[in-house]
Structure 1
Amino acid sequence: MNVSIIGTTGYGGAELLRILQHHPEFNVKSIHSTKEDLPIWKEYPHLYGIMDKDLQKVDPDQIAEQSDIVFLATPSGISGKLAKDFSGKGIKVIDLSGDLRIPAKDYIEWYKHEPADEDLVGRAVYGLSEWHHDEIVSAELISNPGCYPTSALLGLAPAVKENLVNTTGIVVDAKSGISGAGRSLSRTSSYAEANENLRVYKVNQHQHTPEIEQELKKWNPVVEPITFTTHLLPITRGIMTTSYAQLTKEYTTAQILELYKSVYEKHPFIRILPENTFPSVKEVAGSNYCDIGVHADSRTGRLTVVSVIDNLMKGAAGQAVQNANIMSGLDESAGLGFVPLYP
């Protein structure tokens, strides 16, 4: 099965190449960027002698003719336009940007870009693999979730859906490695600024806020606005999300763990940790796993959920390939059996 990647020079595109290079069913037919005719190894030297493809210009008709799936690893504001160009051409589209995740009104407010075509957004299936599997199977257009929402939603979903927690006052405190900011240069992501530092950013203004709230409301329509705070960690990759919510009644940690294990028992990339054990980002680096630890505090009546992912894998390229597998009728873990890098 042939696939193409647009936006190959970003970190998400590079991670797609790493995954797909050894995928048992997908063949990378073409890679695309504005830097056309450039050998990919000149952009990413680690690919020298491994991949000899040149970057090509974006030609939707040609791509649709030669490939079954196209991954859009382009920035928000660009992907939505490309997705429309592929509409009706008989090729499946997986968009890694935020362009198709939320309605136009919210998109304008939070992303500050011109929104994608409203009909296109309405047809896109939200690709949170573990929770929208049946919709993804028959989808032609996938909106891949954001990195922060993936971590937060996988951690909160069972508790919110089963009414274990109050629908008001949910707090999501999240921290990401620098690769989450992409390859573009900025002062805050430079080595001198980020090294040995911890910085909060976009306080109560992060564009992933409405995406998280939208999905929580699907599981429980009365969920109120959340408090979502993001921080930049001085590490390359990884997200740790700590979520807090008031329990609706007294539960033990063991009871909540039993629920989480039951909900995720058939999902190969979710690892629910034993009681009094909590995950760290190093334990999922380079993999498609999401590790989750929970604790019910009898003193405060509050639930704490800690979830970790690799932002470039489960938070982007890994989940995109997982969705491509599901769309194609393959084992959803095909090509994604990476053991986490350690140390």
Structure 2
Amino acid sequence: MTVSVRVAVLGASGYAGGELVRLLVRHPRVELVAVAGSSRAGEPMAAVFPHLRGIVELDLAEAASPALWDDLELDFVFLALPSGQAAELLPRVLPRAWERGVRVIDLSGDLRLPASLYEPWYGRPAADPALQAEAVYGLSELFPGRIREARLVANPGCYPTAILLALAPLAAAGGLASGQVVVDAKSGVSGAGRGASASTAFAEVNENFYPYKVGRHQHTPEIEHVLAELAGQGVTVLLTTHLLPVTRGILATCYVRPPEGWWPAPPVGEVAAAKAVIGGVGGPAAHPAGLAAQGAGAAAAAGAGRTAMQGAGEAGAPQQPDGAGDLGVVLDGLYRSFYAGKPFVRVLPPGQVPAIKHVQGSNFCDIGLHYDRRSGWITVFAAIDNLVKGAAGQAVQNLNLMAGWDETAGLDLVPLFP
């Protein structure tokens, strides 16, 4: 297969950037022509990441240099810069880059949220509103049609990737109508980035386990924002994050108490309708405005299915149809239908739960389901590799969509085990 696009990675000296480089150099249709990282500018890539010795023969350029955009004939630029830096850089380089047809995938959090949500949670000024309006939220499984047409994509955060994939089918089917979700999520240390700190030092993390950013994790509004659009109503997420004494991986355990009497409509029709709206190419493409339109359509499709299940004259939630069987079985069908044809989401057989070891080094998201008859709660488990599906792999998946290729190109990664 011949090379089709020329790409650059800015922020290649960090964990996500280094992982992105590792994936891109083995992509059959990509030529990696430049890497940049301000903190290590001038050094060979192999000096920063010795595992790439003999594989990547490039020196790191200055990430903020406009010359990278002006002097190279690039098709795509990946930004793996710390939060805040992309928002400062892009207004200076994007107008000319877009004139030459360059498309951008940003792995930071700078373009995922409107200013009203970004500033209080990130503690810094938001990006130019025009950039935010242009950016499409890049969760490939939910918004492929938007991503294909985009010239600027905001790659999701690592926690939101796992949590949104875990909850999207329920949101589209009305299962979050109670408006409240509890999430207990745990991440490996690489999620904190490569910069040294006492909290991520070996002596602090080894044989230890603790929550962090309680009540103030910056991924909370991102999760709520997308779930609200999918559900067609506000959703409050109580997110507690924990640091695991492991290098890679996220395990999210999501607890949902569905509305009393809730019973999803038959999965094929309802979820197919929701998927058609979410994945379609029509309508507004920008995020968050385009996302709102997608979510409203998905909610309408889901609502139509739920209304059909209600008895005549009833004002309450739809009731379980006679002989429908166990809600856990129906949920399994709901998830399998929703993610049919999505190569990187693996819905596990009933009774099985995911583990981070089973997705390590891959772009998979493994999902497990449990319905507890006694309490009435639904528990959804999701496991990803935070550096692959939670960052670099998701970015390559978005590249494939934007370039019109198969989503799996360059991502045929078998998980590492043990």
TM-score if structure 1 supplies the norm length? 0.97
- Tell me the amino acid that sits aligned with residue 52 of structure 1: E
Deviations 1:222-261 (A, max 9, x none): 2332101100000000000000011233652111010100
- Residues 237-252 of structure 1 correspond to what in structure 2 (within 5 A)? 237-248=248-259, 249=262, 252=327
CA-to-aligned-CA distance 1:286-336 (integer Å, 9 cap, x gap): 000000000111111110000000000000000000001100111111000
Instruction: Name the residue aligned to 2:158.
Output: 147
Q: In percent, how many aligned pairs have the same letter?
A: 47
Q: Deviations over 1:154-211 (max 9, x none)?
A: 0000011101244323101100000000011111111011011111001110000000
Report if the CA contact (8 A) 2:343-2:408 is conserved. Answer: yes
Give me the TM-score of the superposition, normalised by structure 2: 0.80
Partner residue of 2:69 out of 44, 63, 66? 63
Superposed, which structure 2 residues align to 1:1-343 within 5 Å? 1-34=5-38, 35-58=40-63, 59-64=65-70, 65-88=72-95, 89-90=97-98, 91-248=102-259, 249=262, 252-343=327-418
Deviation at 1:61, TM superposition (A): 4.6
Letter in 1 for 2:385: D
Which amino acid is 2:221 matched to?
P
Amino acid at match of 2:59: D
Could you say which structure has the higher helix fraction? 2
1:167 and 1:4 mapped to 2: Cα distance? 44
Q: Which runs of 5+ in 1 are unaligned?
A: none
Q: State the alpha-carbon separation in 2 of the partners of residues 213 and 62 from structure 1.
A: 36
Point out the structure with max Rg over C-alpha: 2
> Considering only aligned residues, what root-mean-square deviation do their CA atoms show, in Å?
1.2
Q: Quickly say closer, same or farther: Cα 1:247–1:86, change in 2 above 3 A.
A: same
Residues of 2 paired with 1:29 and 1:224: CA distance? 43
After TM superposition, the structure 1 stretch with the greater mean CA deviation from structure 2, 315-324 or 59-68, is 59-68
Mapped to 2, the partners of 1:148 and 1:77 lie a distance apart of 19
CA separation in 1, counterparts of 2:118 and 2:383?
A: 26
Q: Which structure 2 segments of 5+ residues have no match? A: 264-325
Q: Deviation digits for residues 122-155 of structure 1, max 9, x if unmatched? A: 1100000000100001100000000000000000
Q: How far, CA to CA, are the matches of 2:78 and 2:351 in structure 1?
A: 39
Letter of the structure 1 residue corresponding to residue 105 of structure 2:
I
Is the partner of 1:334 in helix, strand or coil? coil
One-letter identity of the residue aligned with 2:339: Y
- In structure 2, C-alpha distance between the alignment counterparts of 1:97 and 1:152, rounded to whole Å: 18
Deviation at 1:107, TM superposition (A): 1.1
Number of residues of Structure 1 aligned to a counterpart in Structure 2: 343
Whole-angstrom distance in 2 between the partners of 1:85 and 1:95: 15
> How far, CA to CA, are the matches of 1:272 and 1:340 in structure 2?
16
